[in-house]
Structure 1
Amino acid sequence: MRDRAARIRTGTLPPAAPAGEADPRVHATLSHLRALEGRARQLSFLPRQPARSVLNGRHASRLRGRGLNFEELRDYLPGDDVRSIDWKVTARTGTPHVRVMTEERDRPALIVVDQRMSMFFGSRLNMKAVTAAEAAALAAFRILDQGDRVGGIVFGDALIAEVRPQRSRRALDRFLTALADANALLSADAPAVPPVSLTEVLRSVSRIAARNHLVIVLSDFDVVDDETHRLVSALSRHNDLVLILVTDPFADDVPEGVRLVVSDGELQAEIDTADHTTYRDLKALAKGRLAEILDWQRSLGVAVLPLTAAEETLPQMRRLMGLAQR
């Protein structure tokens, strides 16, 4: 069953915050996201990753870093690195020539954050939408601090907000504002509308990040199809692509022997997991979707970071990146 259609009221969430205060486990406010800046320095999105980082492949980092720009061809001079000799030009002209390259001043990063109703669910600590928002803010702060451009796409059930990558605090603040605004729209009383598809969002990503970007997608990947798979594959060929799969323990451990009331905002149904067939099908559907996304790491060579809403966000990210715990 799709999470979007399952705003399940299990009564397992912690007590709500006092009246008048936004509960940071349910909604990520702009002030809450801004307050993560100092803690973001504990992370790194540079190509050199710790040996235990999931961003390390079998032989090299999955993050290639900044690219190189061609500057000029010139005659070889004593002391030049022989590895920079352009052998084709040398053969054509009869004299040694070197190709001069300079490193790009910065590398653009695009952070894509899912804030659809399927993300407005949490059975233990945070809503999935909050965990995704926190991870996105931490990544954005750290990437800008490293000297790279940062922007993002925030999408909900009926909105897509784009912020083009810039090396600017103002652009970062626009991204965080769009993220907080989209998160604030999530509510159990929100009208049921057909959600923006992940495939549609990835088309926008392909338009902005044609090549040589760091692209981070944070989502529960609710409803993917063959076109989604194709777009992910294409993005990974021309960019450094990191998928952060945000989950909740409920999907891994569907409670057995209870009656659950689920609703899509208009219609309501009761599911009895005491029925063995119902329980088996529900669990298989939930695990099947997670397994499909995790398998992209093998089939497409894409980095997939599983992030659970049941734990604090920063310690998980540090653990996934192979960093010592504080």
Structure 2
Amino acid sequence: MTTPVRPAAGGERDEAVLARLQLLVTRKLDGLLQGDYAGLLPGPGSEAGESREYRPGDDVRRMDWPVTARTTMPHVRRTVADRELETWLAVDLSASLDFGTGRWLKRDVVVAAAAALTHLTVRGGNRIGAVIGTGAEPPARTGRWRAAPPPPTGPGVLTRVPARSGRREAQALLRAVAHTPVRPGRSDLGALVDLLNRPPRRRGLAVVISDFLAPPAQWGRPLRKLRVRHDVLAIEVVDPRELELPDVGVLPVVDPETGELHEVQTADAGLRRRYADAAAAQRGAIAAELRAAGAGHLRLRTDRDWLLDMVRFVAAQRHARTRGTTR
């Protein structure tokens, strides 16, 4: 089991937490990259490999017609992943990530996932970069205000970290993610994803880390556009209280993005049921949009061992792409 970390802290403690996180990731993830793959997922690549029999769900664009004609059985051509991989992270640090009722805040899991992906990329000599989004800059306070100003509603602050190779550069990227302050409001997830489409880059791996609470209509189209050129992995960070409410009587809750305060009577079984149904419908819509975009989908929870879930996901993806008989 992993131990709690708080990457959002500042100063020397921040550096100590990042060092501890790197050690934890290194110890548990070393060995996952054994084989022909240069990144987290065994991407299709561009170099032709062996053929195997067609299975439902295979990309028909990879049909191997000569082998199909010789054997009279449909075959698809496997490809070998490129040795040099460029990975880009789109890290959403909206105010809603500053929440957690499990062992970590959602923000902690976001930074931890970024650390794991960085380790998996740079240990093979590959390059990794990131775009980071957070809420809009808070307006300047003036003496005329008697109460807190309304939260900003702009597109948020978007930061780009150039793709580089090397452990020192990877540490700088992680510091940029961990030290980014969470500002009020929500970043524009669609604009954040679109930063990975501009300028056009060589085929690689794009990873979007977010709670995906923004409407799917905002980020679905940029994600589908990104999938045309790159392998895409979406890491959804979830807290258990976002899925169901406990029976604890009157529960005051604050929206971290707007500052609005509500009191919820959780003793009402009907309310808890409606909340769970609405949450399930919301997560179902997110999963459906990710499937429509053709993105891999990994869900990490604040009350679970996030690193173990990542290891299982990587193993399952590799098994799914390599199973079957080769010819």
Of the structure 1 ranges 313-322 and 195-204, higher mean CA displacement relative to structure 2 is found in 313-322
Partner amino acid, structure 1, of 2:282 = R
- Match of residue 144 from structure 1: 122
Partner amino acid, structure 1, of 2:8 = H
1:27 and 2:11 matched? no
- For 2:130 and 2:263, the matched residues in 1 are separated by 38
Q: Measure how far apart 1:171 and its partner are.
A: 2.7
- For 2:293 and 2:35, the matched residues in 1 are separated by 19
Relative to structure 1, the CA distance from residue 170 to residue 141 in structure 2 (aligned partners, 3 Å threshold; closer, same or farther) is same
- Match of residue 147 from structure 2: none
1:251 and 2:249 matched? no
Is the CA contact (8 Å cut-off) linking 2:236 and 2:297 kept in structure 1? Answer: yes
Relative to structure 1, the CA distance from residue 229 to residue 46 in structure 2 (aligned partners, 3 Å threshold; closer, same or farther) is farther
- For 1:122 and 1:227, the matched residues in 2 are separated by 24
Is the CA contact (8 Å cut-off) linking 2:233 and 2:296 kept in structure 1? Answer: yes
Q: Kindly provide the CA deviation profile for residues 111-166 of structure 1, in whole angstroms up to 9, marking residues without a partner as x.
A: 12222211111112000110110111111022000121111122221332211211
User: Which one has more relative contact order, counting CA pairs under 8 Å at least 6 apart?
Assistant: 1
- For 2:308 and 2:83, the matched residues in 1 are separated by 31
**RMSD (CA atoms):** 2.9
1:104-119 mapped onto 2 (5 Å cutoff): 106-119=84-97
Q: The residue matched to 1:201 in structure 2 has which SS?
A: helix
Relative to structure 1, the CA distance from residue 216 to residue 167 in structure 2 (aligned partners, 3 Å threshold; closer, same or farther) is same
Q: Kindly provide the CA deviation profile for residues 144-192 of structure 1, in whole angstroms up to 9, marking residues without a partner as x.
A: 001211111222213322112111334322211111112xx34xxx7xx
Relative to structure 1, the CA distance from residue 162 to residue 26 in structure 2 (aligned partners, 3 Å threshold; closer, same or farther) is closer
- For 1:222 and 1:141, the matched residues in 2 are separated by 27
Query: 1:242 pairs with 233, 239, 242, which one?
Result: 233
Is the CA contact (8 Å cut-off) linking 1:219 and 1:244 kept in structure 2? Answer: yes
Is the CA contact (8 Å cut-off) linking 1:257 and 1:275 kept in structure 2? Answer: no
Q: Kindly provide the CA deviation profile for residues 38-76 of structure 1, in whole angstroms up to 9, marking residues without a partner as x.
A: 443443468868xxxx96xxxxx5x235x46xxxxxxxx
Q: Measure how far apart 1:233 and its partner are.
A: 1.1
- Match of residue 304 from structure 1: 297
- For 1:24 and 1:220, the matched residues in 2 are separated by 19
- For 1:209 and 1:256, the matched residues in 2 are separated by 50
Partner amino acid, structure 2, of 1:230 = R
Query: 2:179 pairs with 166, 178, 181, which one?
Result: 181
1:167 and 2:165 matched? yes
1:172-321 mapped onto 2 (5 Å cutoff): 172-182=170-180, 185-186=181-182, 193-208=184-199, 210-256=201-247, 258-264=249-255, 266-321=259-314
- For 2:192 and 2:16, the matched residues in 1 are separated by 27
Q: The residue matched to 1:242 in structure 2 has which SS?
A: strand
- For 1:117 and 1:47, the matched residues in 2 are separated by 39
Partner amino acid, structure 2, of 1:144 = V
- For 1:260 and 1:209, the matched residues in 2 are separated by 48
Is the CA contact (8 Å cut-off) linking 1:251 and 1:287 kept in structure 2? Answer: no
Is the CA contact (8 Å cut-off) linking 2:87 and 2:205 kept in structure 1? Answer: yes
- For 1:251 and 1:208, the matched residues in 2 are separated by 36
- For 1:263 and 1:143, the matched residues in 2 are separated by 38
- For 1:311 and 1:104, the matched residues in 2 are separated by 33
Structure 1 spans left out of the alignment, 5+ residues: 1-22, 56-60, 69-101
Structure 2 spans left out of the alignment, 5+ residues: 48-79, 137-156, 317-327
Query: Based on CA coordinates, which of the two structures has the bigger radius of gyration?
Result: 1
TM-score by length of structure 1 reads 0.67
Is the CA contact (8 Å cut-off) linking 1:131 and 1:309 kept in structure 2? Answer: yes
TM-score by length of structure 2 reads 0.67
Partner amino acid, structure 2, of 1:318 = V
Is the CA contact (8 Å cut-off) linking 2:126 and 2:165 kept in structure 1? Answer: yes
Q: Kindly provide the CA deviation profile for residues 62-97 of structure 1, in whole angstroms up to 9, marking residues without a partner as x.
A: x235x46xxxxxxxxxxxxxxxxxxxxxxxxxxxxx
Partner amino acid, structure 1, of 2:171 = D
Q: Kindly provide the CA deviation profile for residues 25-44 of structure 1, in whole angstroms up to 9, marking residues without a partner as x.
A: 47363432233334434434
Partner amino acid, structure 2, of 1:216 = V
